[in-house]
Amino acid sequence: MITTIRNRDPEAYRALKARAALSGRTIGDLMSEAIQTYLAGPDPFAKRASLRDLTPEDAGPGSEHLSDEIDAIVYGAS
């Protein structure tokens, strides 16, 4: 596919062109590799998990005061 890239940094393009020539590869090869590397990274638009997204679960009968019992163990009897 032929693509025109506008508003590119001329110095960065010259460096890319030189690196391509020295490595015996094309600029297109290096651009494709750079795009693939970028896309393999974390998605900057992905929704991040939040504690607010958690939903409470019923721990069954006898667990009505479980939170108080855990607090007493962790923070000492109150």
Question: How do residues 31-43 score in pLDDT, each as one tens digit?
Answer: 999 999 999 998 8
Establish if 39 belongs to a structural domain.
Answer: yes
Establish if 28 belongs to a structural domain.
Answer: yes
Establish if 68 belongs to a structural domain.
Answer: no
Residue bearing the bigger pLDDT, 6 or 46:
6
Establish if 35 belongs to a structural domain.
Answer: yes
Establish if 59 belongs to a structural domain.
Answer: no
pTM of the model: 0.54
Instruction: Please check the confidence at residue 51 and state whether its pLDDT lies above 90.
Output: no
List the domain range (segments joined by +) for residue 23: 7-44
The total domain count for the chain is 1
Exposure pattern of 9-33 as b/e (b: 16+ CB <10 Å)?
eeeeeeebeeebeeeeeeeeeeeee
Establish if 19 belongs to a structural domain.
Answer: yes
d(CA 32, CA 1): 11
